[in-house]
Homo-oligomer: A and B are copies of this chain.
């Protein structure tokens, strides 16, 4: 009920010292059961909430997990990874009584991380993406800040990571497309700087080269999170009569645009064009788009659990989940 109760108020009301109250709050063993009960009763009845802020100040470690999200990049928030990983993370953190802080950053991830660590004393950090040899990771490692990476992570080992074998998955996709005698397979990627995307690209190359197919620049495109980029690429193909007969898209939104373009231009799916999404959003099933069944919610769950394990027990884990291709209408055999 009451407003700004402090540990001292509780101590007074229970007739003990604030140290004792602190002890029961922290569930320390060296408290007489009866005392503990009495204190607990007072806490219960008074509606007292201990200040996480004060606790953080003295321990210089909070129960906040920093979630790094990019600066000024709408497309990121629109993809499945963000919301599903967020959901998974939220679920598991709730269980362990941690909370999430997301910062609105200043353009550079490292700044955000430093802010998390130095000004908010986060107990750990979750990274939804990394770049090769990521400076953020070096910072976290040097400063012994626990963290978990979701997705590929070039250049680091012995860290918390939950990932898929993106490269292998991509090879399988390319293979399945080649088996249908598709010869102009494009990859509309959305951020080729990220390690995860690089893995996909590696798989794309490998898949093609293994079958003796050339890797053409015009079919391996970056920056396709921009609507404009998609349509201008498509127009270019039209003008040069080099329209792909299969497109692999980094995310579902790109797929939606492709779908729309094909409808307008009377390009039949899958006869004239196969579509494959690297995300598994709700659209795909409804509209029959083939994709990989990456479980981002699970990744969020696991990444959160790993982080807590590091924070509380110093453990480090790496998990590689198994992927699976979901072949749907959009990538059926055309001829």
Contact = CB atoms under 8 A, between A and B. Distances in A.
Interface of A: 3-4, 49-54, 56-57, 60, 62, 64, 69, 71-72, 74, 77-78, 82-84, 86-87, 90-91, 93-95, 98-106, 114-115, 118-121, 143, 252-253, 255-257, 259-260, 263, 282-283, 285-288, 297
A286 B118 CA distance: 44
Contact of A260 (B102, B104, B256, B285): B285
A282 to B, nearest CB: 5
B90 A69 contact: yes
Contacts of A98: 104
Nearest to A55: B119
Contacts of A60: 4
Contact of A120 (B52, B104, B260): B52
Closest 7 CB pairs of A and B: A94-B104, A256-B286, A49-B118, A52-B119, A260-B286, A77-B87, A253-B282
A99 B90 contact: no
Given A90-B104, A101-B64, A104-B91, A114 B49 contact: yes
A114 B263 CA distance: 51
B100 A99 contact: no
B282 A78 contact: yes
Which has the most chain B C-beta neighbours within 10 Å: A49, A74, A105, A286? A286
A7 to B, nearest CB: 12
A26 to B, nearest CB: 14
Contacts of A95: 104
Nearest to A258: B286
Given A82-B83, A102-B99, A120 B282 contact: no
Contact of A56 (B53, B115, B255, B286): B53
Nearest to A48: B118
A171 B94 CA distance: 40
Contact of A119 (B49, B114, B285): B49
Which has the most chain B C-beta neighbours within 10 Å: A52, A100, A282? A282
Which has the most chain B C-beta neighbours within 10 Å: A49, A71, A84? A49
Contacts of A51: 57, 118-119, 121
Contacts of A90: 69, 77, 102, 104
Contacts of A69: 90
29 contacts: A3-B143, A4-B60, A49-B118, A50-B119, A52-B120, A53-B121, A54-B57, A64-B101, A69-B90, A71-B94, A72-B91, A74-B87, A77-B83, A77-B87, A78-B84, A78-B87, A94-B105, A94-B106, A95-B104, A99-B103, A99-B120, A100-B104, A101-B101, A102-B102, A252-B282, A253-B282, A260-B285, A263-B288, A287-B287
Contacts of A3: 143
